[in-house]
Amino acid sequence: KAGVTQTPRYLIKTRGQQVTLSCSPISGHRSVSWYQQTPGQGLQFLFEYFSETQRNKGNFPGRFSGRQFSNSRSEMNVSTLELGDSALYLCASSLVEGAATEAFFGQGTRLTVV
């Protein structure tokens, strides 16, 4: 069974540009969540989707957005990139939405903003 797939693995962008990251969850998983990981801030929750609906959102500016498609694949978009957006962006999928459900993580997309 294939794991969570994130594309691309590495990305270099210039300040002011926008970027779209993609996540394909494990087959059958309907919940997808996104996290930003940086050395200084650790793992910060971005948002969580279930059945194409955003169920929860972290404390990030409106430049960060996401969506989930009918096949459960998800994308996140960051507009007007800032140097501080450089981070490892992790996607995780879960079989169901419940609180007791563990998450399965992709290897992440390493975004560097120059």
Partner 1 sequence: AQSVAQPEDQVNVAEGNPLTVKCTYSVSGNPYLFWYVQYPNRGLQFLLKYITGDNLVKGSYGFEAEFNKSQTSFHLKKPSALVSDSALYFCAVRGLGGGFKTIFGAGTRLFVKA
Binding of partner 1 at residue 75 (CB under 8 A)? no
Q: At closest approach, how far in Å is the CB of 102 from partner 1?
A: 4
Binding of partner 1 at residue 98 (CB under 8 A)? yes
The conformational region for residue 83 under phi > 0 = left, psi -120 to 50 = alpha, else beta, is alpha
Tell me whether strands 42-50 and 53-57 are parallel, antiparallel or unpaired: antiparallel
DSSP H helix total and E strand total for the chain:
0, 11
Binding of partner 1 at residue 43 (CB under 8 A)? yes
Q: Which residues bind partner 1 (CB under 8 A)?
A: 4, 33, 35, 42-43, 45, 48, 55-56, 58, 90, 92, 97-100, 102-108
